[in-house]
Amino acid sequence: MELKDSSAIVTGGASGLGLASARKLAARGARVVIIDLPSSDGEAVARELGGLFVGADVRDADGVSRAVSLAAEQAPLRALVHCAGRGGAVRVVEKDGTPGDQELFDTIVGINLSGTFNVLRHVASEMVRNDAVGGERGVCVLTASVAAYEGQISQTPYAASKAGVVGMTLVAARDLASRLVRVNTIAPGVFDTPILSRFSDEIRQRLASNVPHPSRLGHADEFADLALHMVDNAMINGETVRLDGAIRMPPR
């Protein structure tokens, strides 16, 4: 997929995996529109990249639609890297015997799964209007997690939502195949992102030691490199690729 003279949307683009992806897309010549929360550093990042920022929750249809319109006004929208999401601990039954927190479960699933579909449907609706270039109109890269396969204790909503993204990927790719739009997903393992920066060095080192090879936390640029390769390689479609150093998460 040729990115020069095209636009791209990156959700969660103000930090971590999304920030690295936004920078690489901009370096390839794409006009980048970042969607992130209004409280994020999205405005400053957009200025750095010569792009635009829309402060919105990914569940917000109006906000996402506004970002898509802004991107299309710059240049044909041909790439999406969707990184926005959140975690949170919910047990099926809490330690005191009470039922797990339904409200938090619904919030996490809403952001990670419904939010993914909301972004995908708005972006794809614009992409299918593009003229085909090299037999393609657009590429969407979504983000799941190794938790989709090996969710840990208390990760019920996170694991369920990320498993939903994995399940969505092939269906969406088949849905959009006749429109010449590809859909792929990356399932990262433990990455050195702002979320992990809240943990102590001891916890971070323990997480890193669980990775067989390379025995370290992943770098955001490594995620972005794979996202860009998925954009470039026309034969990668309907795939979820684990990016995890061969880790298989233990129960806790």
Q: Which residues pair with 155 in a beta bridge?
A: 90
Q: By three-state DSSP, how is residue 31 classified?
A: strand
Return the H-helix or E-strand segment holding 53. Answer: strand 52-55
Among candidate residues 31, 32, 139, 158, the one labeled active-site is 158
Residue 42 backbone class (left: φ over 0; alpha: ψ -120 to 50; beta: rest): alpha
d(CA 197, CA 38): 21
Which residues neighbour 246 within 8 Å (Cβ) at sequence distance 6 or greater? 211, 212, 213
Please confirm, yes or no, whether 149 is among the known catalytic residues: no
Residue 11 sits at the vertex; the CA angle it makes with 178 and 159, to the nearest 5 degrees, is 85
Hey, which residues are catalytic here? 158
